[in-house]
Amino acid sequence: MAQRKDKYTYRVTWSEDDNEYVGLCAEFPSLSWLAKTPEKALSGIRKVVAEVIFDMLENNEKIPEPIASKNYSGKFMVRIPPDIHRKLAIQAAESGVSLNRIASSKLSQ
């Protein structure tokens, strides 16, 4: 198997239901790996992802782009109820900052 640079987003968390650590990959949400230690959960999910990528390449399937490799504009549209919009606009005006600054501050908390 050709070695590819692994730039995917991994997370290890405890699974109370399984009484083990579970390794996850954000770009492959259907995959997971259970293990007794967090280190083994991470190495297990990384191995599964590598195997899935190999199979996808063999079948000429599109490989998910790593989140870390994507470029983000810093802009996205979000819809909120009118009363929250009004409340944020008032907070922004009272604070002497833009509505964008207030929303960005709240989203980053």
Spatial neighbors of 9 by CB under 8 A, at least 6 apart, are 25, 26, 27, 66, 67, 68
* Phi, psi dihedral angles at 13 (to 5 degrees): -140, 165
Number of domains in the chain: 2
Which amino acid, residue 13? T
List Cα–Cα distances, 107 to 5, 91, 102, in angstroms.
32, 15, 9
The answer on 86 and 42 residing in a single domain is no
How far is residue 43's CA from residue 105's CA, in Å, rounded to a whole number? 36
- Residue 64 is classified by DSSP as P
Domain of residue 32, residue span: 10-68
How far is residue 20's CA from residue 4's CA, in Å, rounded to a whole number? 29
Is residue 97 a part of any domain in this protein?
yes
pTM score, whole prediction: 0.72
Is residue 55 a part of any domain in this protein?
yes
The answer on 29 and 57 residing in a single domain is yes
Is residue 100 a part of any domain in this protein?
yes
Query: Which pLDDT tens digit goes with each residue over 39-98?
Result: 999 999 999 999 999 999 999 999 999 999 999 999 989 999 999 999 999 999 999 999
The answer on 42 and 16 residing in a single domain is yes
Residue 34's DSSP bridge partners are: 22
The answer on 18 and 49 residing in a single domain is yes
Q: What H or E segment, with its residue span, contains residue 15?
A: strand 10-15
